[in-house]
Amino acid sequence: MIDRRPAVALNVVMLGPPGAGKGTQAERFARSHDLPKISTGDILREAIHADTQLGRSAKATIYAGGLVGDDVMIGIVRERLGRSDARRGFVLDGFPRTVVQATALDEMMDGRGPLVIVDIRVPKEVLLRRLAARRICGTCGVNAQVDWMTSCGNCGGELVHRKDDNEAIVAERLTVYDRQTKPIVEFYASRPTFRAIDGNQPPDSVAGAMEAAICHASKVTGEARA
């Protein structure tokens, strides 16, 4: 197990296509290690639900299956990482999604310790099935967890299908991922802190694989610093 209060910050980036389970696993790992889970998707959906300026500008792009612009996303993450609860580390879900964002994140990490990058891999046909069945809370907008049946475990709201999870938009989102986000794997793949895990297995098995991968990558960075 990784020390829950490491001397060096534990900074984790979750990669993987829509439907790979990044959000579920990021939440689980962050909670067990007392780290903030920073989901740019959640931040944007909350902004859309609250009808803020950010939400209005992002809504049309998200519902069409596209990606919000680099400048907006970099600004959101830079502000969030500047808060005190992220000093000991964080788990990033949904960022970076482009090489431009990944390069900006490297700049943000100056003096904060290394990044551990986890890429969750799932076959496309499995992703399509998962995304077609995925639900969110119609009240607060968070993604439904696997143990929520009809109501939100966060606020009690009704669970509904996401507007951007219909078949056409799902196909477009996966195409966008392949075109714009997959190059990030190449950007990170040669780093000693990069790990790929099989996401096509039960959630507990994925969580165990992720724990082991992050633990091993953290030891590698520790040895490099010694």
**Of residues 40, 38, 30, the one with CA closest to residue 10:** 30
From 22, 37, 88, 195, the catalytic residue: 22
Name the 3-class secondary structure at 147.
coil
Q: CA-to-CA distance for 63 and 169, rounded, in angstroms?
A: 8
CA distance 62 to 169: 10
Measured CA to CA, the distance from residue 8 to residue 10 in angstroms comes to 6
- Which is the catalytic residue, given 97, 135, 219, 225? 97
From 28, 88, 130, 134, the catalytic residue: 134
Catalytic residue among 88, 173, 182, 195: 173
Q: Check 88, 130, 162, 195 and give the catalytic one.
A: 162
Angstrom distance (rounded) from CA 124 to CA 209: 20
Q: Is 191 a catalytic residue?
A: no
Respond yes or no: is residue 22 known to be catalytic.
yes
Is-catalytic flag, 179? no
Active site residue 112: no
Catalytic residues: 22, 97, 134, 162, 173
